[in-house]
Each structure stands twice: as C-alpha cells, then as structure tokens.
Amino acid sequence: MPLWRLNVGFWTLHPELAGRRYTWICGNGGVVEDDTPYGTLQNPAYLNSSVRHVSEGRGGVRQRLDIDNPEFQFPVLEELRAVGGTDYVTMLLPFSDGQIQTLTLTSDDPDGFSTAQLGLVFDCIPALSSYY
C-alpha cells in the first residue's frame, strides 16, 4: 500500500485536552504526538477539517490531491498537495463505547490508493479500533 502519511486522532477525557493526535510520515523516523487543547476546537483549521466532518458523523472523506485546479473542501488538502500528497482519505475509527475517532491516510504515489487497498483498511477498522 503506498502509504506516505498516517494520522490517528483520539478524543480524551482530560480537563485541558480535547484529544491527542499521532502522525507517522514515511522517512521521518517515527511518530509525532500532538495534544489538542479544547481551544483548538474553535480554530478555523479544525472547524474546516475532514476530522471534524467525520467526527460529527457526516461520513468518510476521499479526495485526489493531484488534480488540476482543485477546489478542496478542507484546507489541509492543499497543504498535503504542496508537499507531494496525491490521495487523501479520512475514515471513522469507532470505539466500542460509541465514540468516533478518526484515521487519515495520505499517499504520495502517482496512482494513490486503489479501491482494493482502501477496502482492506476498512476491513481492518474493527481490529484497529480494538487495539487503540
């Protein structure tokens, strides 16, 4: 699977933090952990994000990034395109207690993700959710 970037976001039960985010980028030597303070949820970057879209139950997101004259719904897509991203997906990562977490995948391969590859990821969602 031509995975270039993977991001997993979790909501937390914390007095100061709304969530935590873990981001892996191929070749960067590991996972970067970020906190999401509650104030961030009022920031335009979150309000106009695919993570919010998915977290609020509006369904998954898939967007090719390497198209001419794109009109991206989410600003992060332009950022990922600028650094070589070609395909982007945000999926639900549901927990057994009903909470909706998020998983984003970005490819930098010219062909992006195939439907079969994304189907395999979708099939693994219950196991991933259990793991996290």
For 36-93, what is each residue's pLDDT tens digit?
Answer: 999 888 988 888 999 999 988 888 999 999 988 778 889 899 999 999 999 999 999 9
Output the average pLDDT for the chain.
Answer: 92
In a 3-state reduction of DSSP, which class is residue 21? strand
State pTM to two decimals.
0.91
Residues with Cβ < 8 Å from 101, sequence gap 6 or more?
8, 9, 10, 11, 55, 92, 93, 94, 95, 129, 132
User: What was the pLDDT predicted at 92?
Assistant: 92
Query: In the prediction, which pLDDT does 79 show?
Result: 93
For position 99, what pLDDT does the model report?
A: 87
Strands (E), the chain: 5-11, 17-25, 31-37, 61-64, 87-94, 100-107
pLDDT of residue 8: 95
Pairing of strands 31-37, 17-25: antiparallel
Question: What's the mean pLDDT in 96-119?
Answer: 94
Q: What is the mean pLDDT of residues 19-43?
A: 93
How far is the CA of 81 from the CAs of 45, 63, 115, in angstroms?
A: 16, 11, 20
For residue 68, the model assigns a pLDDT of 81
State the pLDDT at residue 26. 96
- Domain residue spans of the chain: 5-131
Q: Is 5-131 a CATH 3.90.1860.10 domain?
A: no
Per-residue confidence at 123, pLDDT binned at 50, 70, 90?
very high
Residue in the block written with tokens 């390497």: 66
